[in-house]
Amino acid sequence: MAVSDPLLVGIDLGAGSLKISIIRSDGSLVSEASAPVATSSPHPGWSEQNPNDWWSAACDALRRGLKASGRPASDIAAISFSAGAHTQVLEDADGIVIRPAILWNDQRSREETQQLRDKADARILQIGANRANPTWTLPQMLWLRTHEPESFARVRRLYVAKDWLRAQFTGTWETDTIDALGTLMLDAQKGEWSKELCDMIGWPMATLPPIVKPSAIVGKVTAKAAQATGLAEGTPVVCGTSDTAAETFGAGMVREGMGVVKLATAATVNVLSPKAQPDFSLINYYHVVP
């Protein structure tokens, strides 16, 4: 039977905490909760998190948020996710996380970034619509190949942060167009994984996930996830996207020339353009609505 006042759940994985919001279809807030997420820096310039901490935080925040809502979990019509771009989780053939996730603000791949710039600076910009820097997955994975070859060889699946977290709810493997672009392994014009970019670091393309729209329904909450989180089994799960893409859309940046200033762990000035603006001084992302 249809719910007269259906609710939606948004789950956002931030740099310091995981936050959940339960809202009505008109956007009004019903309840919210958060749980801290620890970051480690084993060496200067390094920034890592344990993905299993994300899942623990999500279970904690969801149970408290659902309780605070005063509504049954069956009233939740769908859930979706956002998180910082460029943060990846690597799994082996058994689905085991290989190492801590390298965050977007990690700077360990400075040398690898320079190697890529020396080798193919203009070509990377031409294909990926962005310049290599230590934030992006491409130089980060070149660092992995150089410094942790055993880990590199074990990789069978690459997830972006919000996609790995979502997979704990659905058991599925995919990413959205915007987070795919954020790896610097995507052909920005074709919207497909780029063999040329992957070959620059010897990255196996079979480890890269299928690409869907941010609004795509990618699965349902499994029985195991329902038991852990308090959500209802079978609740539809929407792919979601990177935090900045979701935030700028939510702030109303929907027409050409509109802009949004974001103040967070990193501050950004975002402007909506009808096409990519490849430039060494700019960062390009797709909009949530193609």
Catalytic site positions: 243
Count other C-beta atoms under 10 Å from residue 133's C-beta. Answer: 19
Please tell me the distance from the alpha carbon of residue 77 to that of residue 11, in angstroms, as a whole number. 14
Closest by CA to 88, choosing from 135, 41, 34, is 135
Closest Cα partner for 60 from 18, 118, 121? 18
Dist CA 125 CA 15 (whole Å): 27
DSSP 104: T
| Torsion angles phi and psi, residue 63, rounded to 5 | -60, -40
d(CA 290, CA 217): 17
Strand partners, 120: none
Q: Could you give phi then psi for residue 40, rounded to 5 degrees?
A: -110, 150
- For the chain, the distance separating the N- and C-terminal CA atoms, rounded to the nearest angstrom, is 34
Q: Which amino acid, 199?
A: D
Q: Find out whether 141 and 115 touch, Cβ atoms under 8 Å.
A: no
Cα angle 232, 159, 106; round to 5: 120
Q: Distance between CA atoms of 115 and 135, rounded to whole angstroms?
A: 15
**Cα gap 103→217, rounded to integer Å:** 26
